[in-house]
Amino acid sequence: MGIAERKIRQKEEFRASILEAAWLQVLTDGWQSLSIRKIADAIEYSIPVIYNHFENKEAILLEFTKEGFQKLADALLEVKNNYTEPSAQLEAMAHAYWDFAFEHKEYYQLMFGLGIPACEMVNQIAEMKHMTGIMITTIQEAIASSKDTETNYFLKYHTYLSILHGLVSIEMIQKVGKPDPEKKLILQDAISGFIKSLTIN
């Protein structure tokens, strides 16, 4: 019975082509411009077929949100493995986070801008939990090898992520499309302060 398998495969390909067309649209004109109709146009099908593969537009966005968090998690893990000292890992991960945000601006804006509007949804995105898990683990390792091993790791993780997201989003708001390398000084400044307070205290 290869027919059923072929159908599943075709369905998967169809789904992928929808996402591909959507992503192309996003890359050329941004999230705000993405519409079901444009996707339907691009794949040369009528509008309702898209609803056979995705419950609604939000489901399509959710797919990209997951993809984004997965990519970010991968990027963090990769640089983390280049270091053994937790503090060095945190610093490298901070730079990787920054680089990801500006190299994949579209992903980042969806992940932390348009997406995640509802409250319960946050914990439903496994990919996000995965990413934050990497951060939390590293924070815990840093605390474990510090003088005060009783430091609240969750508080520190929250601080770490907040600093990173704050730096990125303020930079994204102020200047669009400027890959100002000098701005990494700000990242370096903020993150080294954080790491100091984590390792010294």
Element (H, E) at 163: helix 153-174
What is the full DSSP assignment across 39-104? HHHHHTS-GGGHHHH-SSHHHHHHHHHHHHHHHHHHHHHHHHTT-SSHHHHHHHHHHHHHHHHHHT
User: What is the Cα–Cα distance from 42 to 174, expressed in whole angstroms?
Assistant: 33
Which of DNA, its own copies, none binds 58 (CB below 5-8 Å, type-dependent)? DNA
In the DSSP assignment, the letter for residue 151 is S
Q: Does 34 bind DNA (CB under 7 A)?
A: yes
Using DSSP's 3-state secondary structure scheme, residue 152 falls into coil
In terms of CB distance, is 9 or 175 closer to DNA?
A: 9
Of 16-55, binders to its own copies (CB under 8 A) are: none
Which of its own copies, DNA, none binds 49 (CB below 5-8 Å, type-dependent)? DNA
End-to-end Cα distance, the chain = 65
In terms of CB distance, is 46 or 152 closer to its own copies?
A: 152
The residue from 113, 148, 149, 180 that contacts its own copies (CB under 8 A) is 113
Of 145-184, binders to its own copies (CB under 8 A) are: 152, 155-156, 158-159, 161-167, 169-171, 173-177
Nearest to 64 by CA among 91, 12, 96, 24: 24
Token pair belonging to 163: 């600093």
Candidates 29-37, 64-72, 100-108, 129-137: pick the segment binding DNA (CB under 7 A). Answer: 29-37
Q: Does 49 bind DNA (CB under 7 A)?
A: yes
Footprint of its own copies (CB under 8 A): 112-113, 116, 118-119, 122, 152, 155-156, 158-159, 161-167, 169-171, 173-177, 185-186, 189-190, 193-194, 196-197
Binding site for DNA (CB under 7 A): 1, 3-4, 6-7, 11, 14, 34-38, 45-49, 51-52, 56-58
